[in-house]
Structure 1
Amino acid sequence: MDLLHAVFVDPVAQMISAPDLLAQTVWEGFVAGVLYALIALGFVLIYKASGVFNFAQGIMMVFAALTLVGLAEKGVPAWIALGLTIAVMYGLAVGVERLVLRPLVNQPDIILLMATLGVTYFLIGFGELVFGGNPKSMITKELFLPSGAINLALFGGRVQLQKLDIAAAAIAIVMVAGLAVFFQKTRIGRALRAVADDHQAALSVGVSLDQIWVIVWFTAGVVALATGIFWGARSDVSFALQVVSLKALPVLILGGLTSVPGAIVGGLIIGVGEKLGEFYWGPLLGGGIESWLAYIIALVFLLFRPQGLFGEKIIERI
């Protein structure tokens, strides 16, 4: 009875007695969730175009952020460095299409999966060669990202909103919404879905695989850059940052691998859920819930709805 009280009654009582702390926790979870959704979006875009999970998305985020910071360290003005980094990500997209994807058209999914692993380790090695392995600081001031905090009087207490978190959430929401509309309502979006369904059939009706893949990988690269900037601003920019991309896995399981709205909803569920779990239930388990709760939620979804909330349920007839 004491255990049930501690698990189900005490946390709810804390939420009711201190609504300002609840609001603070939900806000922090919301910001993390939006950034998780932005990471997951990169995975969704490439999966929709190639039908394979892109293991390189996490290192693309790190590589983009390191390129930006590395150029700034060489004395390149911040906004020129940002433009050059975008150009580098376009070059990466062209290189992946020409050297990796084009020779593997119509190959089994496992071949493409292994190819993305190869891209991952190439970028790790190349990135360490060029930028070194030491953590770097994100150029937040040079990019005119805000600092400081806003204190709101709310629910009889105070809720602190970091200005950087507000900017990150706003930019991420705009990017996610814009990309969702672009890929759902435009001709390129329809072509992307055709490529994901069947490479050979898409080719037969005039869809250019090389153009679609370059567009999608470049878009995923820009998303990775934006994600790297904001996660790098919250911590240091280093190769350890790619661990954050692993949180995209439960997000994708919840939302569905083929759904842009699913990435958004899944990110918010994971972000808010892990913050609430850490703050209200963490003390019962000695803390650390935030590092594994997302995977437990994903496991439950796999058992009862493996295609995710918005994923397509595929039935193959034999």
Structure 2
Amino acid sequence: MFDYQFLVEVLLGGLLSGVMYSLVAIGFVLIYKTSGVLNFAQGAMLLFAALTFVSLVERGTPFALALLATLAIMVALGITIERAVLRPLINQPPITLFMATLGLSYVIEGAAQLLWGTQVHGLEIGVSDIPFDIGGVFISRFDLFAAAVAGSMVALFTLFFRYTRTGLAFRAVADDQFAALAVGLRLPLVWASVWTAAGIVALVAGLLWGARLGVQFSLSLVVLKALPVLVLGGFDSITGAIVGGLLIGAIEKLAEVYVGPFFGGGIEAWAAYVVALALLLVRPSGLFGQKLVERV
């Protein structure tokens, strides 16, 4: 007899994980929409944020002060990256910008190693992983907390970019950079704001993933979880990042539980990429991405 209660439990677990995937993916979308750069350094920024925070706490810094200090550092890092690395490369080919962020990821990881060392850290944020029992469905407390935080961040960014002056400028630049320049928008200021937002996203995502996986250098590989989310939802859509994250989270868990046994397990690590590859063949722009139309 099919266990529908277990199905709900697996599905909810996947959706809660998917919210965290969405948060990482949004860091990519913010940069890509305004500048066309696929920021491969997002994972290194995530690692740097988590490692900075946990190192400050271990050195006796109060939790709240360590959080504020790390936030300030990540804002400064985002602005520095935009001004020192990407602004001089404006109008360069996309592959040049991508290679710049790829090299930048190694620089940031190296700086983290020099500053804080290479040891693995455990990160406690005061939330236990004891599951709730809701009608026989067990849901992780930490997953609920992480999903609530990530969901709140997503909602705040959505409101910010829709209803604030800076958000409207961001949307204008994302739609048409030349038109935005024509009406007097300052692109460097918009780009600096977006990189600041990317730094904040990296901090929140770094703390959540660091609490789940431990703060170690492999944490930067979390960005690989965001790639199928971006392919599925679209590289230039915040809505797509949210929906794509939920779908990928659900697909991973369901595939591991119900399809994995036929392949000997381990399918969770690559099932999302199979789905992303299949979608690329039929809709390269993703479910919510804008289709590129070129006139010749």
TM-score range (shorter-chain normalised) is over 0.9
How many pairs are equivalent? 296
Offset at residue 210 of structure 1 (A): 2.1
Offset at residue 74 of structure 1 (A): 1.3
Q: Which residue of 2 aligns with 1:221?
A: 199
Query: In 2, distance between residues paired with 1:187 and 1:237?
Result: 37
Q: Which amino acid aligns with 1:66?
A: L
Contact 1:32 1:271 in 2 (8 A): yes
Q: Which residue of 1 aligns with 2:132?
A: 150
1:137 is paired with a residue of what secondary structure? coil
Larger radius of gyration: 1
RMSD after superposition: 1.6
Query: In 1, distance between residues paired with 2:29 and 2:223?
Result: 13
TM-score of the pair, normalised by structure 2: 0.95
Q: Does 1:178 align with 2:193?
A: no
Offset at residue 30 of structure 1 (A): 0.9
Contact 1:51 1:197 in 2 (8 A): no
Between 221-230 and 296-305, report the one with greater CA deviation. Answer: 221-230
Q: Which amino acid aligns with 1:102?
A: R
Offset at residue 181 of structure 1 (A): 2.5
Of residues 100, 123, 136, the one that matches 1:115 is 100
TM-score of the pair, normalised by structure 1: 0.89
2:138 is paired with a residue of what secondary structure? strand
Query: In 1, distance between residues paired with 2:29 and 2:21?
Result: 12
Offset at residue 97 of structure 1 (A): 2.0
Gaps in structure 1 of 5+ consecutive residues? 1-12
Offset at residue 52 of structure 1 (A): 1.4
Which aligned pairs between 1:25-40 and structure 2 lie closer than 5 A? 25-40=10-25
Query: In 2, distance between residues paired with 1:266 and 1:205?
Result: 34
Which aligned pairs between 1:86-235 and structure 2 lie closer than 5 A? 86-141=71-126, 145-153=127-135, 158-197=136-175, 199=177, 201-235=179-213
Offset at residue 104 of structure 1 (A): 1.9
Deviation by residue 1:102-150 (Cα, 9 ceiling, x = unmatched): 2122332222222211221110110111111111111313xxx355321
1:55 is paired with a residue of what secondary structure? coil
Offset at residue 23 of structure 1 (A): 1.4
Gaps in structure 2 of 5+ consecutive residues? none
Q: Which amino acid aligns with 1:51?
A: G
Contact 1:105 1:199 in 2 (8 A): no
Q: Percent identity?
A: 51
Contact 1:195 1:202 in 2 (8 A): yes
Offset at residue 165 of structure 1 (A): 1.1
